[in-house]
Homo-oligomer: A and B are copies of this chain.
Amino acid sequence: MTLIVQKYGGTSVGTVERIELVADKVFAAQKQGHQIVVVVSAMSGETNRLMALANDIQGEFAHGRELDVLLSTGEQVTIALLSMALQKRGCAAISSTGAQLNILTDNKHNKARIQNIDADRLKRLLDAGNVVVVAGFQGVDDEGNITTLGRGGSDTTAVALAAAAKADECQIYTDVDGVYTTDPRIEPNARRLNRITFEEMLEMASLGSKVLQIRAVEFAGKYDVPLRVLSSFEEGPGTLITYEEDSMEDPFISAIAFNRDEAQLTIKGVPDQPGVAAQILSPISAENIEVDMIVQNVGSDGNTDFTFTVHRNDHNKALKVLENTVKKLGGGQIGGDPNIVKLSIVGVGMRSHAGIASRMFTALADEKINIKMISTSEIKISVVIEEKYLELGVRTLHEVFELDKAKAERNQAASA
């Protein structure tokens, strides 16, 4: 018998009516002869409502053990309601909190990580004929304290359960019907991909594509759980994310990703000496500001320029930290620009094909789009450009790399 883990997010279970629709989908899947585990998020709006209560008491940065006790009720409400809706249809169903299913995490409240899942109880409930409805986003530490995995952690719960129970597929239901070559709101010719590799998905998730949480993709890759992204509201095969690569058929590039949430910071004319990068970045990370791209140019006259990007929300905070740093370093000019975006091409195919980077840079230059920073990985090239060129850049690259065409068509073109 096939075991499938399905995950429905907050929008998909946002009202009783939508929960009833999810129950229809789940029951239909069970009637096809599958064993089904369903992981759900809190009803949309619920986590924000609870967070507002916590903020009323703790102030803007509510945190800690009790916040997890509070927020974990959101998913608990959904599992009860969905189980009721399934039972009403004559479908045996039982709900389970993270604690009841022994989803063991570390004790880092508000951002815990799953350490172990005892799949025995899950298997027992499934073998008794139940659909098992599990609260996502939550677990329990080894002292029985409730923990949460941080926002969006329900994807991780689903993948971790699929790994622990050796599920045949983990299906993530969202409000989009799959992974696209780029955002269809910017490029109308964007095309749904039938499949994509974990590595590509990982790069896309880290680049700001919001389809899946990056930790969930990492987890799925690590434990080789076939992951499928589908729509909660429409029928369709979605996009399958797998390890399997078929490089003969793979096109150079799979998708164009972008991230509007970044800001750029620069120090010009700092002493070009060992340790200067650490001196600049250590105070930044000490303030819990995450740094994404880092570029240091070759120096001249004993000085060098140092540029990096942070989340746009951290731009002002990072500027202040840099001011102190410059005082200590004894020199340098600080600049910051929150109006930049990161634009990337992603594809395992670029490994085996030279010339991808120059093709990208040429295409952008032809459109007079200035590249401010460049960063590369084995399967990704990212550039920072001015925000106003974002849409033009996306459409240009989508066309140049022929992402509107299906694989076979592109490969024909390439070999012709």
> Which of B53, B66, B84, B99 interacts with A16 by CB under 8 Å?
B53
- Asked whether any CB of chain B lies closer than 8 Å to the CB of A67, the reply is yes
- Asked whether any CB of chain B lies closer than 8 Å to the CB of A261, the reply is no
Please state if A57 and B85 are interface contacts (CB–CB under 8 Å). yes
Q: Which residue of B lies closest to A85 (CB)?
A: B57
Please, how many angstroms separate the alpha-carbon atoms of A64 and B97 in the complex? 16
Per-residue interface assignment for chain A, residues 70 to 109, with 1 indicating a CB less than 8 Å from any chain B CB and 0 otherwise: 1011001101110111011000001101011000000000
Please, how many angstroms separate the alpha-carbon atoms of A251 and B154 in the complex? 64
- Asked whether any CB of chain B lies closer than 8 Å to the CB of A19, the reply is yes
Most B C-beta atoms less than 10 A away, residue of A53, A72, A85, A88: A53
Q: Which residue of B lies closest to A52 (CB)?
A: B16
Please state if B77 and A50 are interface contacts (CB–CB under 8 Å). yes
Q: DSSP majority for the A interface?
A: helix
Shortest Cβ distance from residue A169 to the other chain B in the assembled complex, whole angstroms: 26
Please state if A95 and B69 are interface contacts (CB–CB under 8 Å). yes
> Which of B50, B72, B80 interacts with A67 by CB under 8 Å?
B80
Per-residue interface assignment for chain A, residues 37 to 78, with 1 indicating a CB less than 8 Å from any chain B CB and 0 otherwise: 000000000000010011011100010111101101100110
22 CB < 8 A contacts A-B: A16-B53, A16-B57, A50-B77, A53-B77, A54-B80, A57-B88, A58-B88, A64-B84, A64-B87, A65-B95, A66-B81, A67-B84, A69-B79, A69-B80, A69-B95, A70-B76, A72-B76, A73-B73, A73-B76, A76-B76, A97-B146, A100-B144
